[in-house]
Amino acid sequence: MSAPQTPLLAVDCALFDPDRRVLLVTRANPPFKGHLALPGGFVEVGERIEDACRRELEEETGIVAGDLMLLGLWSDPARDPRGHVCSAVFAGTVPGGEPRGGDDAADAAWIGDWRAHNLAFDHADILEAAEALLFGD
């Protein structure tokens, strides 16, 4: 029996500091090269999604997160121009830290007014949901 054709699985991390700034990366590669985005990436075979989220976060920003909660699954087939990609999104808060861009992130920074930026993919929608969950907004 052959394996069914299914969407790719990714993770994204919506992480806030005590000032409610969000940790964003500048994408180094297409699609959305040069745009701000949540840290994240594809889940590797044999990897738990929670572990993939922590790995991508640390690889792209140098930040290590404590408690993270599953925010939800974003699965619109049109959310990624490369094809159907479902993303398990985790959210949390950290005391802070000095981010640095790494892996496929050209840069990483705490951003206070993320709504003033044109974020990659559907990350603005994700951040709206994360703020509502974490802060009751």
Q: Could you tell me the CATH number of the domain that includes residue 100?
A: 3.90.79.10
Residue 3 domain flag: no
Segment 86-114, tens digit of pLDDT:
999 999 999 989 999 998 899 999 999 99
Half-sphere exposure of residue 69, counting CA atoms within 13 Å on the CB side? 9
- Count of all residues that appear for the chain in the document: 137
Segment 22-57, tens digit of pLDDT:
999 999 999 999 999 999 999 999 999 999 999 999
Residue 85 domain flag: yes
Predicted local confidence at residue 73, as pLDDT: 98
- The yes-or-no verdict on residue 137 having pLDDT over 80 is no
Q: Calculate the CA 85 to chain-centre distance.
A: 13
Residue 48 domain flag: yes
Structural domains counted in the chain: 1
- Residue 52 sits in which domain range? 8-135
Residue 14 domain flag: yes
Residue 1 banded pLDDT, cuts 50, 70, 90: confident
Residue 131 domain flag: yes
Q: Kind and range of the H or E element at 68?
A: none
Q: How far is CA 109 from CA 27, 68, 90, in A?
A: 12, 19, 18
Q: Let me know if 133 is exposed, middle or buried by CB neighbors in 10 A (0-12, 13-18, 19+).
A: middle
**This prediction's pTM:** 0.95
Predicted local confidence at residue 109, as pLDDT: 98
Looking at every residue in the chain, the average pLDDT score rounds to: 96
Residue 69 domain flag: yes
Predicted local confidence at residue 111, as pLDDT: 98
Residue 125 domain flag: yes
Q: Where are the beta strands (DSSP E) in 17-102?
A: 22-27, 36-37, 40-42, 69-74, 85-93
